[in-house]
Structures are given as C-alpha cells and as structure tokens.
Structure 1
Amino acid sequence: MALFNPPEHLSCHHYATHANSGWLRVDGSGQSSYRGMTEYHSILFCTRGSVRLAIADELWELHEGQMKFIPRGTSVTAIFSDDGELLDAYFEVVDFICDKVSLLQLQELRQEVAYDPEPLEVRGAIHSLLNTLKVYLNDQALCAYLHELKVKELFWNLRAYYSREELAAFFWPILGESKFHSDVISAFTCNAKVAELAERVYMSTSSFYKRFREEFGISPEQWIRLQSNKQILFLIQDYDLSIGEIASQLSFNSQSTFSRYCSKNFGLSPLQLRRTLQEGTSSEELLQMSYHNE
C-alpha cells in the first residue's frame, strides 16, 4: 500500500528535516554488501535470512531475530545471504525515557557485568515494532518525527523486556569508553600509517604511541595490521567483488600494492587467498598465518 496523498506528506517540514535518529531498511536481494553509516550509534536487526558483519576489528554473523549494537564511529560492512534483510535503528543519544534506568546508571554496572559481544535475541513487542517499521519504510514514510517516535518506542521496549544487566552488556562498548578510543576507531583505514592515524586524531606521533599502548595494550603497528588483515579476509569472501574493487574499497593505491600487501602478510596473492578460503581454510587460521609472517 502507498501513502495517501504523497504531496501532502512531502510538503510537511518534517520530511525536509535532517534527523538525528531514525530507521533504514537494507534488503540483501538488491545488493550483496552494505556499508553502514557510522555518524550515529546503531542497533542492527536481522529481520530475514542472515548477514555477515565486519564491525571494526570483529567478524560476526547475524541471524533472523537477532540484534547487535554498533557504536558511533565504527566501520561496518555487511554481506547478505540471498534473502538477508537488515533494519538499522540509528540515534545520537541512548535514551531509555525512564526514571528507573539511564545510560549513567548502566555505567555503574560496567564493572559488574561481563562484556558479551554476541548478538542479542529480539524479544517481546520489538518483533511487532520491526514489522510495523518495515511497512512504513516500504511505503516511503520518511517523516523525521515518526522515525524519532519509533526510536523512542524501541528504547521503551528495551527497558521493558531486558534486565539492566543485559542492557549494560549490550551497550558495554560505550560505557566508560574514552573519546580517544572511539576517535581512533573512527579514523582507522586499512593499512594506514601510524603518523597518519595520529594526525587524524590531532595528536603528535610520540603522544599517540604512549596513549595508544595505554588504551589498547598493543603497539599501533600491531593493531593496524590486525584490523587491516581482518578487513581483507572479510571482503575477499565477497565473490561478487573483483580484486581491484576490494583494493579500492580498502584504500590501497593500486591492485598491485594490495597484492604486495597480501603476499607480505599472508604469503599468498589475493586470488590464492580467496581460493584458500573457498577450499575450507578459516579466516582465523589465515590470521594465525599472518602473525608468523611479521
């Protein structure tokens, strides 16, 4: 069903308003991969099929009926199954609209809960909310006011159907996280130089080295290499992408530069790397191989 009298909706100022919270629907049948917007925090819901996710330095698989929180400033790539579908709830502020719980109160639980990065199962009326959102989005109901109300409704449901401990574990990545940590993740690009990363977060290289070791526990070079290798292993499994397209997406200057990087870090060319994965070698095994090539 289409909206009744679309010109009337389009003339409303809410349709012309830039929203700091809202909803996106991404259908894998029309595209095999999706790069999420990282300007805002997001909760990704798999509403059909399954979706493989590369979230910063982690690889995940999201199945129908599961959700995953993505902090602002995180690099996200999704590769869909044939029938895969995502709903992306994005927002600037985590707001439970409730006197009984707030983000500050969840921060107090941070030391008491173990961080569990596994996707969380969707519960209660959130199922109905997502189905309603799919209808709205399919009918091009792009009213900023409506989207904001539905994000608030989502947070009411989170408060209603999950314990504080579950919510603290779910939103753990932003509980007590330093600005430096989120700035580094936001500034990261594949195969970046340490000096480039330091410049992007407005620090001298020497200060960046010291702060980075304090926050991440390893050297910037080790971390950059690990994140770069994980991104390569994720994209190389998207067989719809050519090697040249992967090199471009990962910000390599040329396909030959990308090939040299793979040979140095994995001992394999990009095509050999893809073939090795097709033959059943896991990404984890290849990451271990890359450690020995340092």
Structure 2
Amino acid sequence: MYITYYMKDGSDRKKGSMFKYFEFPAKEVLEKDSFEKCNYLIFNLEGEIKYIYNGSIHRELHTGEMMFLGIQANCMLTLETEAKLLILGFDELYSLCDKFTFQALSPIQSMLKYEFDTLDIRYPMDDFLKLQIEYISNHRFDSYLFDDKLKELFIIFRAYYSKEELSMFFYPIIAKSMDFKNMVLANYRNDMRLEELAEVCLMSKRAFQRHFKEIFGETCEQWILREKSKQVRYYLSVTDCSFKEIIDKLGFDSSVHLNKFCKTWFGMSPTDLKKTLNIQKDCLKN
C-alpha cells in the first residue's frame, strides 16, 4: 500500500506535512512513488524491514535506523517482522534556517559520490522521537507545535550528525544534479504533454528532450506513460474515485481510452484491475 494512503489526514495542515506513528503487522508492504510529490523521513523504532530503492538497491532497515526518501524516490518496503514506525512527510522545508543549513552542505556534497544509505537513530534523536509519539498518542499536535518540532528535528540533525553524514543522507534535496529532476517532478501535472513540461521548465523542446533522456534514462513520452500507469493504479487502489473522475484527472479522452490503456499496461480492464487491487489490499489486511 502506498505510504500516502497511511499518511492521509482529514485536516488541512499546510502543505500536508505531519508526523504519524504506526504499528504494522509483519509482511506489510509499503510503497513510495515519485508521483506522490512528498519527502518522507522514516524512523524504524522496532522491526526488521527489507527495501528496494529505485528498483536496483536491495537492502535492510534495522531497528534504530532511519531513511530519507526524497520526492523523486521510488521505494518498496517489506516488513519482515512487526514494526513500529514514525513517519514524517513534508514537501518542502519551512524554516530559512533549515534551507541555509542545506545550502551550506552543497560544497561537501559536490565532493561525494552519492550512495543511498540509512542513518542510525542516536541520542538525543531517540528521545525526541519518543516525545513525538507521546504527542500523537494524546492528540496534542497542532500546526504550531508541528512547526516547532520540525525546526527542533533539524537542529538535532545539525548538532549530532556530521556534515558528511547529512550531505549523503539528504543528497536528493541538496544535490545540484537533482535540480532538473526535482523541477520536472514539481511541475508535472497528470494530463501534461511534453511541450507543456518543457515550457514550464523554461527549456526548448529539443534541449528538454535531450536533458530528460540523460537524467531519467528514458524518453519523456515513455516516462509520462509510465507515470500515468502508476497513477491509474494508485487511484484504483487507494482512492474512491470513479472511472469518470480518473478519466478527468488523468486526461484520458474517454472510457474507451482508459480501457485500452489499462489493457496495454496491466493486461486487464479497469474494472478487473480494481478488483485485483482490492483483493491484494484485503489480503494484506488479513
């Protein structure tokens, strides 16, 4: 199930950012996809987790470790045991102080060869996380407290983790090489064409296509279709959207167009795909 599904909240907290605490059963599967347009900090307080990052990195997240999944990340986490997770979702940094912190890390980051990795949860981060769970359990969080705690979190990062550790850990939001990718993801809309995307990224169509292929490893047209397939799967599995709403949201011309698309990408009609996804969801719950 997508992390977004678990992070859904009825409030109108600004920018959708929040801490949430979960106690998951063994064998639960969590997914993070680039179209979710959110950064996640996942703190593993208890449990053993295997994950696949961007389709190629197969590793484990142990008890007492944390991972950062940037907006552009694709990740699948399989819980080998029961797990207790605290997850922070945010789409951007609020505090100018936080932004300046990451800007200061840029010179160090430019000398590093990026390799996705986790960090250990060390003192006083562990005590800070326990306090957040206490706030959540007693329904004490509001937007003012959240903003204060988010700032406090990054103060702990700056004070108790080295610049080298932070540069590697938060590489996806400070690396210059990520700027183009983040720009594409930030500006891409569900029904957008290549020409429109190139325009909002302030590039000619030819230059955009060339740069896109270098960064993403596929053509923009292929990527747009792949993103659309992910979003179809998301809307059918996580939301209560009707087929008509999905057609409107994702820019399909008609129900025939949606049906043809699903058969091409999933080998079945939208109705059968929704049934299959619901069965998978029920199996995970049981």
Q: Which interval holds the TM-score relative to the shorter structure? A: 0.5 to 0.7
More helix by share: 2
Does the Cα contact within 8 Å between 2:66 and 2:120 map onto a contact in 1?
yes
Shift of 1:53: 9.8
Residues 1:95 and 1:53: Cα distance change in structure 2 (over 3 Å): farther
Instruction: Look up the match of 1:110.
Output: 109
Shift of 1:212: 2.6
Residues 1:115 and 1:185: Cα distance change in structure 2 (over 3 Å): same
CA RMSD of aligned residues (A): 5.4
2:94 to 86, 89, 92: 92
Deviations 1:123-165 (A, max 9, x none): 3322221121122233334252x43432233223223443333
* C-alpha distance in 2 between matches for 1:274 and 1:114: 44
Instruction: Look up the match of 2:9.
Output: none
* C-alpha distance in 2 between matches for 1:260 and 1:187: 27
* C-alpha distance in 2 between matches for 1:248 and 1:84: 37
Deviating more after overlay: 18-27 vs 110-119 = 18-27
Does the Cα contact within 8 Å between 1:55 and 1:75 map onto a contact in 2?
yes
Deviating more after overlay: 209-218 vs 163-172 = 209-218
Does the Cα contact within 8 Å between 2:21 and 2:133 map onto a contact in 1?
no
* C-alpha distance in 2 between matches for 1:274 and 1:55: 28
* C-alpha distance in 2 between matches for 1:208 and 1:195: 9
Say which SS state the counterpart of residue 68 (structure 1) adopts.
Answer: strand
Residues 1:114 and 1:204: Cα distance change in structure 2 (over 3 Å): closer
Shift of 1:184: 0.6
Counterpart residue identity of residue 20, structure 2: R
Shift of 1:228: 3.8
The aligned runs of 1:1-294 (5 Å cut-off) are 23-25=18-20, 43-46=41-44, 65-71=64-70, 86-88=86-88, 90=90, 91-93=93-95, 95=97, 102-137=101-136, 138-142=138-142, 144=144, 146-174=145-173, 175-177=175-177, 179-189=179-189, 192-230=192-230, 238=237, 244=243, 247=246, 251=250, 253=252, 256-269=256-269, 271=272
Does the Cα contact within 8 Å between 1:96 and 1:159 map onto a contact in 2?
no
Deviations 1:250-279 (A, max 9, x none): 725466533321322354445369859x89
Say which SS state the counterpart of residue 184 (structure 2) adopts.
Answer: helix
Question: What's the % identity of the aligned pairs?
Answer: 23
5+ long unaligned stretches in structure 1: 1-17, 280-294
Residues 1:199 and 1:54: Cα distance change in structure 2 (over 3 Å): farther
Shift of 1:220: 1.0
Residues 1:19 and 1:194: Cα distance change in structure 2 (over 3 Å): closer
Shift of 1:172: 0.9
Deviations 1:163-196 (A, max 9, x none): 3332111111122246443221112345743124
Does the Cα contact within 8 Å between 2:55 and 2:74 map onto a contact in 1?
no
TM-score computed with the length of structure 1 as normaliser: 0.58
* C-alpha distance in 2 between matches for 1:42 and 1:242: 25
Say which SS state the counterpart of residue 69 (structure 1) adopts.
Answer: strand
5+ long unaligned stretches in structure 2: 1-12, 281-286
Does the Cα contact within 8 Å between 2:42 and 2:87 map onto a contact in 1?
yes
* C-alpha distance in 2 between matches for 1:35 and 1:192: 22
Residues 1:161 and 1:223: Cα distance change in structure 2 (over 3 Å): same
Counterpart residue identity of residue 163, structure 1: S
TM-score computed with the length of structure 2 as normaliser: 0.59
> Which structure: larger Rg?
1
* C-alpha distance in 1 between matches for 2:166 and 2:216: 24
